[in-house]
Amino acid sequence: GQNIDQPTEMTATEGAIVQINCTYQTSGFNGLFWYQQHAGEAPTFLSYNVLDGLEEKGRFSSFLSRSKGYSYLLLKELQMKDSASYLCAVMDSNYQLIWGAGTKLIIKP
Amino acid sequence: ETGVTQTPRHLVMGMTNKKSLKCEQHLGHNAMYWYKQSAKKPLELMFVYSLEERVENNSVPSRFSPECPNSSHLFLHLHTLQPEDSALYLCASSHEYGGAYNEQFFGPGTRLTVL
């Protein structure tokens, strides 16, 4: 079966750096997405990786290793507003999005 | 402003009620989706419409009935629901269905409680 694994919850300190990991086993691969979802709000797009390597976008970066079935989302200079759930999703060979259960990130002052 | 709106935002209904969820997208997209989001579980894809035709129906119980009258509107009709159907129902849209890098834009969801 297809599976996406990510930690259920993580805690970090304001101003610090946090890395949220995602491992996947899917039928084919057509890219990996990261979304951010604040409580009670819509998920919003953060990043898309289809080739190996690091994609940087401001304070957020996303890394992909297709051979290892692994990605991470790196958040730098954490702010209180970064407290949210982070969803990892992989597009399989049928262009279906397979979703992880999300990682709840708690930022402490 | 996400460009995808959903109404109502909150809904409480009894098991014998009939209600409908509405989604509207203002992005000119051709594909629309219904997802169910339960606590600590992955998003579950329920239905997909592309150019107003249903293309996916992932073994969803018949008590959920979708309708897509045009490419901007999507409904989810609910009847005789069960308490386990209580969840956040998210609508999303994308430029097209299928194809790589098909970013989905989500609405804020309807929080449904079935008593």
Beta B10-13 vs B31-37: how paired, if at all?
A: unpaired
In tens, the pLDDT along B27-42 reads 999 999 999 999 989 9
* Separation between Cα atoms, residue A102 and residue A14, nearest integer Å: 21
- Give the single-character DSSP code of A80: G
Measured between beta carbons, the chain A residues lying within 8 angstroms of B105 are 45
Measured between beta carbons, the chain B residues lying within 8 angstroms of A98 are 42
Is B30 at the interface with chain A, CB within 8 A? Answer: no
Return the residue of B nearest to A88 by Cα: B42
Rounded to the nearest angstrom, the minimum Cα separation between B62 and chain A is 22
Measured between beta carbons, the chain A residues lying within 8 angstroms of B97 are 95
Return the residue of A nearest to B101 by Cα: A31
Low-confidence ranges of chain B (pLDDT < 50): 1
B3, amino acid identity: G
In this predicted structure, what is the pLDDT of residue A13? 97
* Separation between Cα atoms, residue A53 and residue A76, nearest integer Å: 18
Return the residue of B nearest to A95 by Cα: B98
In this predicted structure, what is the pLDDT of residue B2? 56
Task: State whether residue A28 is helix, strand or coil.
Answer: coil
Low-confidence ranges of chain A (pLDDT < 70): none
φ/ψ of residue B3, rounded to 5: 90, -10
Helix, strand counts (H, E) of chain B: 0, 11
